[in-house]
Amino acid sequence: MLLEWMMNGHAILYTGVTLAFWSTILVVGLCYTIFDLGFRFDVGWFLTETSPFMWANLGIGLSISLSVVGAAWGIYITGSSIIGGGVKAPRIKTKNLVSIIFCEAVAIYGIIMAIVISNMAENFSATTPVAIGSKNYQAGYSMFGAGLTVGFSNLFCGICVGIVGSGAALADAQNASLFVKILIVEIFGSAIGLFGVIVAILQTSKVKMGD
């Protein structure tokens, strides 16, 4: 069976690319080790030479974009089920918009956090790592971390609310009394997005950029 799978065109491509990638890494790593050039692989240099602004803006970008991906994912999962179920049971159309609103809330968390984080970025005049100081580096990393936190938690929250909302729409179409009960599951699902926002706020609470 492995041989059959190997004969598939896609499989050959993927195995080839993966093999090339890992062998490059292996060969490069071996060469660096053998020729005593290991000092060139310098994580400390990377972290001090990259500007804190890069981390801050990556955090802002991730927070809004991942939240929007989560919200969009949830909305299309729920929306298609509402449309399908609404053909034979038109009464579900208005009530089930609540599920869409829960998904949308996830995107709103993302944009609020993006605005909050971006307001913390201030200018500083130093250029060397020593002069920039630890406070600025800490600010950069905190903003990146907060962006990751809120982005990923909203991504999975949006997907969760979307899948539950789809089930709620189809169950509502069969039996109207089920909707409120499944809505409670959705409320718990959307709470996890809120957790991400709370943790992100805490992460950025001590951020102080500047000279």
Contact residues toward other proteins (CB under 8 A) are 73, 76-77, 79-89, 159, 163, 166-167, 169-170, 173-174
Burial 89-119 (b: 16+ CB within 10 A, else e): eeebeebbeebbebbbbbbebbebbbebbbe
Give me the least distance between CB of 56 and other proteins, in Å please. 31
Q: Which is nearer to other proteins, 33 or 174 (CB)?
A: 174
Give me the least distance between CB of 82 and other proteins, in Å please. 7
Q: Which is nearer to other proteins, 96 or 149 (CB)?
A: 96
Q: Which is nearer to other proteins, 59 or 74 (CB)?
A: 74
Which candidate, 99, 107, 64, places its Cα nearest to that of 82?
99
Give me the least distance between CB of 76 and other proteins, in Å please. 7
Give me the least distance between CB of 64 and other proteins, in Å please. 21
Instruction: Please give the C-alpha separations between residue 21 and each of 15, 24, 26, 28, 126, in angstroms, as whole numbers.
Output: 10, 5, 9, 11, 39
Give me the least distance between CB of 180 and other proteins, in Å please. 19
Alpha helices in 119-133 (DSSP H): 129-132
Which candidate, 60, 50, 65, places its Cα nearest to that of 207?
60
Q: Which is nearer to other proteins, 26 or 83 (CB)?
A: 83
Q: Which is nearer to other proteins, 5 or 45 (CB)?
A: 5
How far apart are the C-alpha atoms of 155 and 161, rounded to whole Å?
Answer: 10
Structural contact between residues 205 and 180, judged by C-beta atoms closer than 8 angstroms: no
Structural contact between residues 156 and 71, judged by C-beta atoms closer than 8 angstroms: no
